[in-house]
Structure 1
Amino acid sequence: MSTETNPTPTIGRIVHYKLSGHDVSMINLESRQSYGGQGVVRSPVELGETYPAIVVRTFEGAERVVNLQVFLDGNHSYWATSRSEGPDHGQWSWPPRR
C-alpha cells in the first residue's frame, strides 16, 4: 500500500541514499581499480553523506527493499544492494518535497 507521502518504490525513481561505513570502504576499494584504462575521478566520500540514487530493482513481497545505483560526485557510481527505507546509514529515503 502506498500513499502520496509514502509511495511504493518503483524502478527508475530517484531517492536519497545515506552511506554506511561498509559503503565507504567498498567505494574506496573500487576507486583504486581502473576501468578500461580510465581511472576513477571523484570527490572523497564520508560516512553519513547522502547522495542521489536511482532504484534499479525492487523485490516482490518486500516493497521497501531495493537495489540502487548511487550517483557519486565524479565519474563513478556505487551499486547498493538490498537496501531498506529509513533514516540510518545504509538506508534510502524519499527526497524532501519543497
Structure 2
Amino acid sequence: MSTPSPETTPKPTLGGIVHYKLSGHDVSMIDLHNMQSYGGQGIVRSPVKLGDVYPAMVVRTFEGSATAVNLQVFLDGNTSYWATSRSEGPDHGQWSWPPRG
C-alpha cells in the first residue's frame, strides 16, 4: 500500500469532520472549563485523558496552510472544546482523517 502524495491528500474544508487527539494542555483546559457553568446548567461529560480521540468539526481554515485549522471537538457530554491552530498528524494535539472502512 502506498502513502498518498501531498497532491492527493485532501485539504480540510469548513464543516469537515476529522479525529482529534487530546494533548495534556487540552485536558487541563477542558477540566478547567468543567468547573464553570454551561448556559445555567452544569457541564455533564465523561472524563477525558491524554491521548483520547474525539470527532471534531473544522470551523476555520487558514490561507497559505494546507493543514492548520481551528476545530470544535465534540466531547462525550453536553460540551465541546475549541482547539485552535492545530495541524494534521499522529501526535497529541493534532488531527487526522477518520479511517475509511
Structure 1 and Structure 2 fold alike (TM over 0.5): yes
TM range (shorter): over 0.9
Match of 1:86 in 2: 89
Q: TM-score, normalised by structure 1?
A: 0.95
Within 1, Cα distance between the matches of 2:52 and 2:38?
25
Q: TM-score, normalised by structure 2?
A: 0.92
4+ aligned runs moved over 4 Å, structure 1:
none
- Aligned match for 1:26, one of 29, 34, 53: 29
Aligned residue identity for 1:95 = P
Q: Deviation string for 1:40-71 (max 9, x for gaps)?
A: 00000000000000000000001200000000
Query: Percent of aligned positions with the same letter in both sequences?
Result: 78
Match of 2:100 in 1: 97
Aligned residue identity for 1:87 = P
Assess if the C-alpha contact under 8 Å between 1:2 and 1:8 holds in 2. no
- Aligned match for 2:39, one of 36, 40, 43: 36
Q: Any stretches of 5+ residues in structure 2 without a counterpart?
A: 1-5
Aligned length: 96
Q: Any stretches of 5+ residues in structure 1 without a counterpart?
A: none
